[in-house]
Structure 1
Amino acid sequence: MDSTLTANLIWAAAFLADLAIKVVALIAIPRRRKPTAAMAWLLAIFLIPFVGILFFLLLGSFRLPRARRDEQARIDDLIAARVADAGIDTGADAADWPRWFRRVVTQNTALTALPAVTGNDARLIADYDASIAEMASAIERATRFVHVEFYIVSLDATTAPFFAAMERAVKRGVVVRLLADHVASKRVANATETFAELDRIGVVWAWMLPVMPMKGKYQRPDLRNHRKLVVVDGLVAFMGSQNLIDRTYNAPKNIARGLKWQELVVRLSGPVVASVNTVFLSDWLIETTNLVDEEHVPAAAVPVTSGQLVCQVVPSGPGYDMENNLRMFLSLIYGATERVILTSPYFVPDEAMVYAITTACQRGLEVQLFVSEIGDQGLVYHAQRSYYGVLLEAGVRIFLYPEPYILHSKHFSIDDDIAVIGSSNMDIRSFSLNAEVSLLVRGRSFVTAMRDVEQEYRQAGRELTLEEWRQEPRKATFLDGLARLTSALN
């Protein structure tokens, strides 16, 4: 065959393949996807068709496989049935709640099946080592079971007391179960030694969202379980932003930069502990197919504390059909009447969140945002910065937590009596791609304690002004804009 003809045929085939990719992309990608995400994917595919479609095939599915979603729905039905059988009541004071807050609780219950319950106590722990010490202390007192679930699990000098407490619990005959995210925990420096130690001390453990295609376990590899929680005997629970690892994450690049993570954890007692335990049992059932019914503790069986906090646990993630955390965050911000104070290490909001925050400013509310002055993830850091201008212009006060600390806490407060704390960042990844868990709290005493934490952030850092931001070099803001485009690829 003539070489010119061969070349022409190759070019024609490539052209037709390129055209076919773009036509199929225009039809398939916008379906059930946010316009910003669809536009970002289409832009990538139109600019680099063959590479773009390869990445889309690897990362384009923002939901877990249908079987996992069906199992989550089945578990939610089971939870709803048990809640109904137990006759759980949110409390006599529900009639005194603001009407809009009651609607938020109703929304959360409809999405997750977990109710709001009263009679709870909650205490914030801002010290990194102290939170691990308190969790270890609770495990030391365990008599029935210990449930541990973390995005990252690592044995090191900081977490050694926690591992030692688990070992002693096992020796006492306490069942200790542990879930760890497969991708995140496998990539830490001493992963092999960590899980060998769990085997040695007798902890029963399993991977969350394992990426093991040879074993038939596969989904989009960056759909991760980002939850962090500990439950002891169904009586005490811990939730928050902190992973089970040293605050440097034992990463050479972090150690070289002197980076340290600043976290916030909440210790819970009261009926809400049953809901935290339900999240663990649900994940355990999904990952192991083992129903641990004997360790299901009904909320009605958990002693009411002297505290009177209303608490509701809200799990979210790609196993659900809705973005549970985002919907709750938006409802709370729109319900606020005085102030909204946000803390998130990775703040890359979608359009709805930006509108909610800037609208709060236009309604005359005090709105503040706490973020880190430096970042540990380049793309996310620059994508986050790309929102500073519009927020500052709207009237949001932005406070930068100083280096060498990464402000990794994830919480926000509404007015004087409503707050949220948990594992969820305020970014597109946490809204759509990660399994997260948040705690909604109504109670003035709890918000007062959170205000003290916020004040510590203020005193430690500095405020970024609009005038200062307008002096940013064009090169930096150009990188911010590019990073913002990639953040929508979900």
Structure 2
Amino acid sequence: MEATGVLAYIIGFFVMSAAFVSVVIFLENRDPSRTIAWLLVLLLFPVVGFVIYILFGQNMKKKKIFKIQKLFSEINANKIFESIQNFENLITIQKQAIMEDLVFYDPDINIKRRVMNLLLNTGRAPFTLNNSVKILNSGEEKFKALFEDIRNAKRHIHLEYYIIKDSQIGRAVKELLIEKAREGIQIRLLYDDVGCWNLWFKRSFFDEMRECGIKVAPFLPVKLPFLNRRLNYRNHRKIVVIDGKIGYVGGINIGDEYLGKDEKFGYWRDTHMRIEGEAVYMLQLTFLLDWYFSTKEKLFSTCYFPAISYCGHNVMQIVASGPDSDWEAIHQAYFTAISQAKRMIYIQTPYFIPDDSLLVALRTAALSGVDVRIMFPGKPDHKIVYHASLSYFESILKSGGKVFLYDEKGFLHSKVMVVDDDIASVGTANMDLRSFMINFEINGFIYDKEIVNSLKQDFLNDQLRCKEITLEEYHNRPMLQKLKGSYARLFSPIL
């Protein structure tokens, strides 16, 4: 009888807590779809739903937890960006240059102008003209190039990853970094504490690096993994900066699956960029801000922003977004580019959970005759997200857009968008609400026709390994799959 009474008391506590949380959510005036989704979770699963909300649902106050804006004021006050034309002044100058058409001489550049100006305003992201960009389409290409650059490093190596695994490639990276540290190279490694959960019980992996002088730090460490509101705000970025002159950014983490060695997924199709030039300044800045946030160590010496000679003519902006910003810069840039498209929109993404604005923009583009194509994995890695994603394809197909499922013998993890042969985006952000509104992400927006056309051709080559889904096939899929999609979509605003 006593046990029954205790159980009733516990259940009653959770139910009352869920009711209280429901009122809090309602009064926060969030997006209506997210409010309804959370209320639905708490109504249907008052006990489990309360725990899920504690872990993933709390709306952390940006000003209390993320103080990056304050740091920007310190940076400007100390004039540490004099070597790269003074950060804020550079943005002001570039806004004026765009308004006066001093950047592009092509009369049909409205989409570029709109996106570039938007990112100057929302992402504090100056565009750079002096860059050489190489697209890397697999883990093999990325790690081959990265290892060579690390071996040639002369001063410092900065790495920031969402996932690092104690794997064959992970150990190879560790051994190479230890070798360079023993040569006297300054090395810092920032990892996401939740993304690297597999190393919670393998601390020796990082300890071996620390013993050799490598500085290693977790981003937003989770001390109580199952009861911590920080669990929801993760650093999904993948950045490497070498000597302040060479940078890497894209979708490839450090794990054997990214080399196609996972039996479940097989060949892993991903996209990464190797950058030489002034765009590396912004990768460096993003890393140093994240490092400061995690360690309180200020590293804004001009030695991390060395003078860069001519590298190439690729025009691009590096854009970081996350809960530390007042604007959803990558999300808004995607919306602007899609809504301005005149000819084609090609998207590769492992997850497809757009908000209403992006979905309407894509449907409107397709209905107006724009060639809209979305490429998506043929097999799931996260089932509920996968089925929720599939549920959004009906409206795309009805509007005249095309959907391609990537070869089931491989897995598609690329985060790429190409619009009108004029603009492309490659980075860490998926086409989903978590990437756009919750995680810390970083993308490169490219305005160089040579690189944009290369990414377009990569998409068309990948399309040869895909199965196109017609609207009829979509409607005729098994009933169980339809039910899974409908159920998963209910929770899509909080996935």
Fold in common (TM above 0.5)? yes
Instruction: Give yes or no for the alignment of 1:29 onto 2:26.
Output: yes
Aligned to 1:165: 176
CA distance 1:80–1:331, change in 2 (3 Å): farther
Distance in 2, matches of 1:80 and 1:470, equals 56
Instruction: Give yes or no for the alignment of 1:264 onto 2:264.
Output: no
Instruction: Give yes or no for the alignment of 1:232 onto 2:239.
Output: no
1:291 shift after superposition:
0.5
Is the Cα contact below 8 Å between 2:55 and 2:228 reproduced in 1? Answer: no
Once the two structures are superposed, the pairs formed by residues 178-189 of structure 1 within 5 Å of their partners are: 178-187=189-198
CA distance 1:485–1:85, change in 2 (3 Å): same
1:309 shift after superposition:
1.7
Aligned to 1:374: 379
Of 26-35 and 87-96, more deviation after overlay is shown by 87-96
Instruction: Report the RMSD for the aligned CA atoms in angstroms.
Output: 3.0
1:168 shift after superposition:
2.6
Is the Cα contact below 8 Å between 1:80 and 1:114 reproduced in 2? Answer: no
Is the Cα contact below 8 Å between 2:349 and 2:415 reproduced in 1? Answer: yes
Once the two structures are superposed, the pairs formed by residues 239-318 of structure 1 within 5 Å of their partners are: 239-247=249-257, 255=262, 257-294=264-301, 297-298=304-305, 301-305=307-311, 307-318=312-323
Instruction: Give yes or no for the alignment of 1:74 onto 2:70.
Output: yes
Once the two structures are superposed, the pairs formed by residues 108-127 of structure 1 within 5 Å of their partners are: 108-127=119-138
Of 113-122 and 422-431, more deviation after overlay is shown by 113-122
Deviation track 1:331-376 (CA, whole Å, cap 9, x = no partner) reads: 1111211111001001111111111111111221111111111111
1:50 shift after superposition:
4.4
Q: In structure 2, what residue type is equivalent to 1:206?
A: A
Deviation track 1:261-311 (CA, whole Å, cap 9, x = no partner) reads: 321111101111101110100100000000012266448x32232x22211
Which of 309, 315, 324 matches 1:319? 324
SS in 2 for 1:309: coil
TM-score, normalisation: structure 2: 0.88
SS in 1 for 2:129: strand
Deviation track 1:169-194 (CA, whole Å, cap 9, x = no partner) reads: 21221101010111111325984342
Q: In structure 1, what residue type is equivalent to 2:395?
A: V
Aligned to 1:85: 86
Instruction: Give yes or no for the alignment of 1:411 onto 2:416.
Output: yes
1:108 shift after superposition:
1.4
TM-score, normalisation: structure 1: 0.88
Distance in 2, matches of 1:456 and 1:79, equals 45
Is the Cα contact below 8 Å between 1:260 and 1:404 reproduced in 2? Answer: yes
Query: Is there any run of 5+ residues in structure 1 with no aligned partner, and where?
Result: none
Instruction: Give yes or no for the alignment of 1:47 onto 2:44.
Output: yes
Distance in 1, matches of 2:18 and 2:265, equals 46
Aligned to 1:347: 352
Q: In structure 2, what residue type is equivalent to 1:448?
A: N
Q: In structure 2, what residue type is equivalent to 1:302?
A: I
Aligned to 2:164: 153
The size of the alignment, in residue pairs, is 474
SS in 2 for 1:170: helix
Q: In structure 2, what residue type is equivalent to 1:434?
A: N
Of 290-299 and 342-351, more deviation after overlay is shown by 290-299
Instruction: Give yes or no for the alignment of 1:94 onto 2:103.
Output: yes
CA distance 1:23–1:187, change in 2 (3 Å): closer
Distance in 1, matches of 2:120 and 2:350, equals 27
SS in 1 for 2:462: helix
SS in 2 for 1:243: coil
Query: Is there any run of 5+ residues in structure 2 with no aligned partner, and where?
Result: none
Distance in 2, matches of 1:169 and 1:360, equals 50
SS in 1 for 2:411: strand
Of 195-204 and 342-351, more deviation after overlay is shown by 195-204
Instruction: Give yes or no for the alignment of 1:456 onto 2:461.
Output: yes
Is the Cα contact below 8 Å between 1:239 and 1:422 reproduced in 2? Answer: yes
Q: Percent of pairs identical after alignment?
A: 27
Distance in 2, matches of 1:17 and 1:236, equals 52
Q: In structure 2, what residue type is equivalent to 1:367?
A: V
Distance in 2, matches of 1:429 and 1:471, equals 30
Is the Cα contact below 8 Å between 1:340 and 1:415 reproduced in 2? Answer: yes
1:157 shift after superposition:
2.2
Q: In structure 2, what residue type is equivalent to 1:37?
A: R
Instruction: Give yes or no for the alignment of 1:38 onto 2:62.
Output: no
Q: In structure 1, what residue type is equivalent to 2:283?
A: V
Of 77-86 and 54-63, more deviation after overlay is shown by 77-86
SS in 1 for 2:459: helix
Instruction: Give yes or no for the alignment of 1:133 onto 2:144.
Output: yes
CA distance 1:18–1:145, change in 2 (3 Å): closer
CA distance 1:27–1:433, change in 2 (3 Å): closer
Distance in 2, matches of 1:314 and 1:427, equals 17
Distance in 2, matches of 1:80 and 1:95, equals 29
Q: In structure 1, what residue type is equivalent to 2:414?
A: S
Deviation track 1:390-425 (CA, whole Å, cap 9, x = no partner) reads: 111111111111123220111111111210000000
Of 58-67 and 78-87, more deviation after overlay is shown by 78-87
CA distance 1:186–1:201, change in 2 (3 Å): farther
Is the Cα contact below 8 Å between 1:155 and 1:163 reproduced in 2? Answer: no
Deviation track 1:425-456 (CA, whole Å, cap 9, x = no partner) reads: 00111112211101111010001110221122
Deviation track 1:75-118 (CA, whole Å, cap 9, x = no partner) reads: 34456674763653657851536244323222212223221111
CA distance 1:302–1:479, change in 2 (3 Å): same
Distance in 2, matches of 1:17 and 1:284, equals 38
CA distance 1:36–1:142, change in 2 (3 Å): same
Distance in 1, matches of 2:21 and 2:144, equals 55
CA distance 1:60–1:155, change in 2 (3 Å): closer
Distance in 1, matches of 2:292 and 2:153, equals 22
CA distance 1:312–1:79, change in 2 (3 Å): farther
